[in-house]
């Protein structure tokens, strides 16, 4: 099936309310910075609207779309996998417009943080008429197709509150879920996010009935404490500890350790990439099927923790 690119873009923009949303606070800082650091004119590689909003159509290829792919990050591994199968007119929809490497608890690796798309990959994308669309903060806060909303849905939960002000909404959701022990919730998280390694800290409960969820980076102790005051007995996120090398990363790591020692919540981290990829395979895939009769093809990271 061939679909007009502009039709898909307009529908995605409407879904995430991009025409009314403010420029993406995080990506308007990090994207220019990482490209400046490697001497690349970032404005020359993104669409004019994207240069203002830092969300939406990032790279325009052929005017008609044959196949839609989806991923959390446009990492080197994801783009290589996409380029291996992509045909002219294919579209890649990602949550982030650039990669981010936050380290791994598996071997206590510390990493560099945000990473630009490689110039050779950008050249291949352009030469082959491929398109890229990214939506960051509006996907984090969406209750219809959202990173936190998808987690609540996977846990069969009902949203009862919101926390973590972000963009034009809230990145964190508090939800009531069917009673489950802390250990069973950890096992369920492994199944939902298809991860082998899970970070677990804090308290242990025989019956968790209220959980706070936030995709991606969840290491802000003020928001963790707020979620606990809202009655959450467990806190499920991507990164409990962001292992970004430097003083800032070390301070944040220590702050979460101190919070974990006193909190009454079970703290669960499933990796940044896995926590925000879930919405791609579930709610976004369903939206494409229902609204455009398109089967979205997800591309998973070969290593969730990195």
Structural domain boundaries of the chain? 3-136+276-298, 140-274
DSSP bridge partners of 64? 4
Superfamily of domain 3-136+276-298: NIF3 (NGG1p interacting factor 3)-like (3.40.1390.30)
- DSSP secondary structure code for residue 194 in this structure: T
3-class DSSP assignment, residue 34? helix
CATH architecture of 140-274: 3-Layer(aba) Sandwich (3.40)
**Could you check whether 3-136+276-298 and 140-274 share the same CATH topology?**
yes
The verdict on whether residue 220 carries a ligand-binding annotation is: no
Surface-to-core class of residue 207, CB atoms within 10 Å of its CB (0-12 exposed, 13-18 middle, 19+ buried) = exposed
Is 244 in contact with 102 (CB distance < 8 Å)?
Answer: yes
What pLDDT score was predicted for residue 1? 77
Question: Tokens at residue 19, please?
Answer: 């025409």
Q: Is 276 annotated as a binding residue?
A: yes
What pLDDT is attached to residue 250?
A: 87
pTM of the model: 0.96
pLDDT at 214: 98
Asked if residue 191 belongs to a known ligand binding site, the reply is no
The response to whether 95 counts as a known ligand-binding position is yes
pLDDT digits (tens, 9 = 90+) for 231-248: 999 999 999 998 888 888
Q: What one-character DSSP code corresponds to residue 118?
A: P
Q: Which residues of the chain fall below pLDDT 50?
A: none
Q: Rounded to the nearest 10 degrees, how much is the dihedral formed by the CA atoms of 135, 222, 266, 150?
A: -20
Query: H-type helices in the chain, by residue range?
Result: 5-15, 25-37, 48-53, 76-85, 119-127, 137-141, 147-154, 182-193, 221-229, 247-260, 272-279, 285-292
């Amino acid at each position: 099936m061939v679909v007009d690119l502009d039709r898909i873009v307009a529908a995605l923009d409407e879904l995430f309310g991009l025409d009314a949303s403010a420029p993406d606070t995080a990506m308007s800082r990090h994207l220019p910075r990482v490209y400046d650091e490697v001497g690349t004119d970032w404005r020359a590689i993104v669409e004019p609207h994207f240069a203002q909003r830092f969300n939406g159509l990032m790279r325009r290829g052929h005017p008609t779309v044959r196949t839609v792919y989806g991923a959390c990050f446009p990492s080197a591994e994801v783009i290589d996998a996409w380029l291996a199968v992509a045909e002219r007119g294919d579209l890649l929809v990602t949550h982030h417009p650039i990669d981010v490497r936050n380290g791994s608890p598996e071997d206590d690796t510390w990493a560099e943080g945000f990473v630009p798309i490689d110039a050779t990959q950008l050249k291949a994308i352009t030469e082959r008429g491929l398109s890229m669309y990214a939506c960051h903060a509006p996907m984090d806060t969406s209750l219809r197709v959202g990173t936190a909303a998808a987690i609540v849905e996977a846990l069969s939960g009902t949203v009862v509150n919101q926390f973590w002000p972000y963009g034009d909404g809230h990145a964190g959701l508090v939800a009531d879920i069917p009673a489950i022990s802390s250990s069973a919730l950890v096992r369920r998280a492994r199944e939902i996010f298809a991860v082998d390694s899970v970070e677990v800290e804090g308290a242990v409960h025989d019956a968790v009935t209220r959980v706070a969820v936030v995709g991606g980076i969840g290491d802000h102790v003020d928001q963790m404490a707020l979620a606990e005051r809202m009655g959450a007995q467990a806190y499920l996120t991507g990164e409990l500890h962001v292992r970004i090398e430097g003083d800032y990363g070390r301070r944040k790591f220590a702050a979460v350790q101190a919070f974990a020692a006193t909190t009454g919540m079970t703290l669960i981290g499933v990796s940044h990439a896995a926590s925000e990829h879930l919405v791609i395979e579930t709610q976004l895939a369903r939206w494409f099927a229902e609204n455009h009769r398109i089967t979205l093809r997800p591309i998973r990271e070969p290593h969730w923790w990195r």
